[in-house]
Structure 1
Amino acid sequence: MVDPEQYFYRGLSDHNTIGNVKMIAPWTYNSDGVGMGHDALVEDTFIWANDDSFKVYTDNMVVRRCVVWQAQNGAVFQFGWWSGRDMQKVRISDVDVIHTDWCTFKGNNCHISGNDAVIDLAGDTKSFKVSDIVISNIRIEGSCPRLVYFKMNPASTGSVTNMHFNNWSVESQPTHDSLHNEIQGANKATASNWTFTNLKIGGHCINSPSQADFSLESHTNNIKFTCH
C-alpha cells in the first residue's frame, strides 16, 4: 500500500485482520497507519506513517510482530482524539520502531506537538474507561525524543488503569532538552496502576521515574518502574 491521502487502512467493523502488509510513502500529514474495530488483529506488517501508526481504540485488539517507521507527525500508539475511550484487554507485542522522526529535521532546538510520542493521548478525549492494556517487547532504535505523553484534559472523567509496559528497549533518549515523558490525570479521572517492567534506555534498566525523565503529575497513582 503506497502514498495514502489519509489512512492506509481504516476498517472499523469488528474481527478484521491485517497480515503481511507493507505500508510505505506517507508524504502528507494525516497518513495514519491502521484504525480497527473490536477484536482486531494486526501482525507481520510494516508501517511507515506520517500520523498515528496504530489507533489503540477498541477492545481485544492484538498487534504483534510489526515494524514501524514513525515519520515527522503522529504517535506510534495513539489512545486519543475521539471524545470517549471505552476499551479493555489490548495486547501489543514484538514491535520494532526503527525511526522516530519528530525531531530529525528540526536541529538542536526541537519542539514537537502533543501528538508526538510512542504512547500518546492527543486531541480532546474526556471520558475514559480503559483497563487491562499490555504492551510488551518494544524495541526503539536511535534517539527517541519522547516515549510517553499522556495528559488528560482537565474536564475528563473516568480512569485509565492497569497499563503494563514490559521489556521495552530504547537505544537512547535526549535528557537535556525541553521534552519530557509526562503522565497526568484530572480531578475526576485518574491514571493508576501503571507498571514499567524492564524498561531499558541505553542499556540501563530504569527503576525510578527520574531516570527516564518522567514527570508524574496530578491525579496519578501507583505508577511503578521495576527491573527483574
Structure 2
Amino acid sequence: MQHLKDILNTLETLKPYRPPASLTKLERAMERTSRHGLIAAAIPFTVLAMLAAWHKFIAHLSGAWITVALASAALSQLLAVLSLLCPPVLMVCTVWRWKERSRLLRDGEIDHEQTQLAQLERFDAAALQAAKLHLEVKIKRLERRLGYFIDADGKKMAAFSLLVLNFTVGNIFMKGDWSSVLTTDFNSPVSSQIVMMLLALLLGVSIGAMCVRFITNRESYRIELLDAALLRRAGS
C-alpha cells in the first residue's frame, strides 16, 4: 500500500511535455487564448447575467448600464469565438515549418519522457502494475459519471451554449422584452425563462464535463508512463 502511495505521489509531479521553446511569441499567445478563452469569456458573461437579473427583478437599467451590458455580451462572445478559432489558425500558421517543428517536438518529447521514466525505476513491477490498475479504475468511474450524452471534451458545447446565452440576454436588452428571446410561436415570458434556464444548465454541464475530461486525460498520461516503465523493466 505504501509503495502505491509513493508511486502516485511521484506521478503527481510528472507533467506532459510542453514545448514553449519551439513556439513563437504569436503562437504562444494564440495557445494561451485558446486554453483560457472560454474561462475569460465567463467573466464578462457573469457581469451580463447580474445586470440582466437587476434589470428584470429589481429596477430597469439606465442607458449607460445597458451599454455596459451589451459591451459585456460582445466581449464574452468575442472571447468564446477566439477560443474556437485559435487552434485551426495556429495549425495553419505553423504548416510552413512543420519539418523543423516535428524534429524539435520529437527530440524534446523523448528527452522529457526519459527523464520522467528515470524517476519510476526505483519501483518494482508489481507496484507499477498496482498503480496502473488503480488509475484505470479511477478513469472508468469518472467516465461513468460523465455519461454518454455529451461530446468528447465538452468545450465546443460550452462555447456554443455561451454564445446562445449572450445572444439571448443581449436580445432582451435590445428589444426590452423577455418575449423577444424566441419566435412568435413561443413568445411567452415563462417559456423564454425556461429556455434560459435550460441553456444555463447545458453550459454548466458542459463545463463540468470539461473538468472531468481534463482529469481523465491527466490520468491517461500517467498510465502511459507506467506502461513505458513496465516495458523498460521487462526488456532490461
Q: TM-score range by the shorter chain?
A: under 0.3
In the superposition, the TM-score normalised over structure 1's length comes to 0.20
More helix by share: 2
Query: Which structure's relative contact order is higher, taking Cα pairs within 8 Å and 6+ residues apart?
Result: 2
In the superposition, the TM-score normalised over structure 2's length comes to 0.20
More strand by share: 1
